[in-house]
Amino acid sequence: MQGLPQNAQYAVDEYGRPFVIIRDQGKRTRLHGLEALKSHIRAARTVSNIVKTSLGPRGLDKIMISPDGDITVTNDGATIMGQMQVEHEIAKLLVELSKSQDDEIGDGTTGVVVLAGALLESASALLDRGIHPIKIADGFDRACAVAVAELDRIGDVIPYSREETGELLKVAQTSMGSKIVSKAHDLFAKIAVDAVLSVADLDRKDVPFDLIKVSGKVGGSLEDTTLIRGVLLDKDMSHPQMPRSITDAKLAILTCPFEPPRPKTKHKLDITSVEEFKKLQEYEMEKFQTMIRQVKDTGANLVICQWGFDDEANHLLMQNDLPAVRWVGGPEIELIAIATNGRIVPRFEDLSAAKLGHAGVVREVSFGTTRDKMLVIEDCANSKAVTVFVRGSNKMIVDEAKRALHDALCVVRNLVRDNRVVYGGGAAEIACSIAIANEADKVASIEQYAMRAFATALDAVPLALAENSGLAPIETLAEVKSRQVTEGNSRLGVDCLGKGDSNVADMKDQLVVDPLLSKRAQLLLATQLARLVLRIDDCIIQGQADEY
């Protein structure tokens, strides 16, 4: 056929319809050196622009559609980045960057991606001017050190204790200002602060997150969300005639099933007569009764079992006044053991009174129009374990509320670790930008250009906040910068919610604060990623021959 490419051939399918085969069409053209670096920066900028519109209290939501057709509506940066299907290698690095911020800090996942994209965009302009990537990377490193020192200078210390939690509440409310739970952020902030302080060791400044379980159930409204000082199980008693409430509960926590031992070989047992069947039935009954006696002898009055048991065992448990809960998952089993100071027992022979868990009350609660039942274990021996029970009108609301609560819990945890804060609304970024620009004037080497580019990149955060709030971004940024310099007030930022007369407001008065740990981690992680990308000049796929 005329007009076909040289590496193509003409063919027909089984119905005689023609099509064109182009060989090696899956291979991409290899880029080297500066061209490859520019390609990497473009990929990072594309991903950064996707999440930029979700930054701030007026940020927009994204609809994430899974391959199965499930829909997630969120503006949480970590969720958006985690569910995006990205193919480019540098885009995958940005996804890992967001995940690192989420794992280490838990908040600021959108801001760190926006900042990394802005840094690489600023670096692109310097590359066009002929500045070597290594010089740019060194300049970024120097500017980041100045920014971190400026954060330490402008940071404020917020006092708190188990009794005085007002300042912690303000920071938790800020973290949820852009979330779907903002209409109930007072309740969620109080729950987050109470949950963290319940499990925190303030002397060691340590918060064991594994003692906080967040559980959700569709039904009710966000205002029905509650904090339970104990463990909540999405289970009920195994038999409908078992008691619904047990006081002074002694829990036998088992990972062995209530069933007779089975041969661990491939042999089978043939029963050919009624007598043999009755003998087998008696053997099973004897085993069941032995197991129940072993549990009762320890003084236990409630069995928590990881596995199920059949109707016969269930009936015997009920007859012997031994309430039981079956099919309890592994993480819940561990949490119950921690909360009640009990031991997880793998065999009935290992049961003893010393290994039982203790709780003041174990009760079955029902809620909602469908009267769903759940089990609450309260007044545990180790009172530190808590459960947050999130309610919402549908699954999407519950999931987003759980993500928002996770951010708030992480923010409060960070303040327990380090109770220094900086002010939001872009105030901290603008203060750092001004400090870096002043420092760059004192640098005689070519790194001063990279430092000024870093300062310009920091402006991307207040610009995005202003743009997402419907303000004129350039004019708002210029006004905030001018007033910060003339008034010497590093707390001035973008008034996203429009509470004041102008677009600029004192973020301390508006109670918009961020943990210093979170802001510092954003700067360090974004700078390290920018350095990493600037040092990459080629991308080689394993097993693929180079084309020359």
Do residues 172 and 42 both lie within one domain?
no
Of 72, 74, 79, 109, the active-site residue reads: 109
Q: Which of 533, 543, 544 is nearest to 136 (CA)?
A: 533
323-331 LR contacts (CB < 8 Å, sep 24+): 323/237, 323/242, 323/243, 323/246, 324/237, 324/238, 324/239, 324/242, 324/258, 325/233, 325/235, 325/236, 325/237, 325/238, 325/375, 326/235, 326/238, 327/235, 328/233, 328/235, 328/304, 330/306
Catalytic status, residue 110: yes
Of 107, 138, 399, 407, the active-site residue reads: 407
Q: What is the model's pLDDT at position 148?
A: 93
**Residues spanned by the domain of 209:** 161-213+390-418
Identify the CATH number of the domain in which residue 260 sits: 3.50.7.10
Catalytic status, residue 456: no
Q: How many domains does the chain have?
A: 3
Catalytic status, residue 76: yes
In-domain check, residue 10:
no
Residue 25 pLDDT exceeds 50: no
In-domain check, residue 93:
yes
Residue 178 pLDDT exceeds 70: no
Do residues 456 and 408 both lie within one domain?
no
Q: Taking residues 139-148, what's their average pLDDT?
A: 93
Identify the CATH number of the domain in which residue 435 sits: 1.10.560.10
| pLDDT single digits (tens) 227-264 | 888 888 888 888 888 888 888 888 999 888 877 766 66
DSSP bridge pairs for 171: none
User: Tokens for 433?
Assistant: 């930008």
User: Tokens for 278?
Assistant: 């009755």
Task: Enter the pTM of the model.
Answer: 0.75
Do residues 503 and 442 both lie within one domain?
yes
In-domain check, residue 14:
no
Q: How confident is the model at residue 293 (pLDDT cuts 50, 70, 90)?
A: confident
Catalytic status, residue 407: yes
Q: What is the model's pLDDT at position 140?
A: 92
Do residues 274 and 377 both lie within one domain?
yes
In-domain check, residue 27:
no
Do residues 438 and 515 both lie within one domain?
yes
> What dihedral angle (degrees, nearest 10) is formed by the CA atoms of 240, 243, 244, 249?
-140
Q: Which residue has the higher pLDDT, 538 or 138?
A: 138
**Domain stop point among 365, 400, 418:** 418
> Positive or negative, the Cα torsion across 124, 128, 134, 135?
negative
Do residues 412 and 357 both lie within one domain?
no
Q: What is the model's pLDDT at position 373?
A: 81
Of 53, 72, 79, 110, the active-site residue reads: 110
Contact criterion met (CB below 8 Å) for 430 and 484: yes
Identify the CATH number of the domain in which residue 409 sits: 3.30.260.10
Q: What is the model's pLDDT at position 27?
A: 46
Do residues 427 and 406 both lie within one domain?
no
In-domain check, residue 249:
yes
| pLDDT single digits (tens) 328-342 | 888 888 888 888 888
In-domain check, residue 202:
yes
In-domain check, residue 250:
yes
Of 76, 102, 138, 194, the active-site residue reads: 76
Do residues 433 and 493 both lie within one domain?
yes
Contact criterion met (CB below 8 Å) for 335 and 199: no
Do residues 413 and 448 both lie within one domain?
no
Do residues 166 and 133 both lie within one domain?
no
Beta-strand pair 357-367/245-254: antiparallel
| pLDDT single digits (tens) 410-444 | 888 888 888 888 888 889 999 999 999 989 888 88
Do residues 312 and 375 both lie within one domain?
yes
Do residues 338 and 458 both lie within one domain?
no
Amino acid letter, residue 499: K
In-domain check, residue 222:
no
